[in-house]
Amino acid sequence: MARYWLILGVAVVTEILWALSLKYIQQHPGPWPILASICLTGVNMVLLSFAMRGIPAGVAYAVWTGLGAVGVAIFGAAAFGDHLNSGQIASMAVVIAGVVGMKLTTG
């Protein structure tokens, strides 16, 4: 079971990289950033699908989207100067609490 959570963790990282690559493409258009984004999409989907072999689909998807959204917000702020206000930060804490709850209550 632990390996599926590890795979899901890697899928979350690729989800974050993929989403940030879309922002990067807007600032640095060209064939290589687009190709990288397309490759990240494929890797991301394959990893999520493998994680769902051992984690219920709803749990895996909730964790993937929740942590992906939080990661994109944090790294978007760090890499691109996107602004985060206190309400957004508090909301991200709620998402993380939800993800922890999903993990702790999944057999």
Q: pLDDT digit string (tens) for 1-53?
A: 799 999 999 999 999 999 999 999 999 999 999 999 999 999 999 999 999 99
- Give pLDDT, residue 1: 79
Q: From residue 104, how far is each of 28, 34, 97, 107 by CA, in Å?
A: 41, 37, 10, 8
* pLDDT of 106 strictly over 90: no
Question: Which DSSP symbol is given to 55?
Answer: S
Global pTM value: 0.91
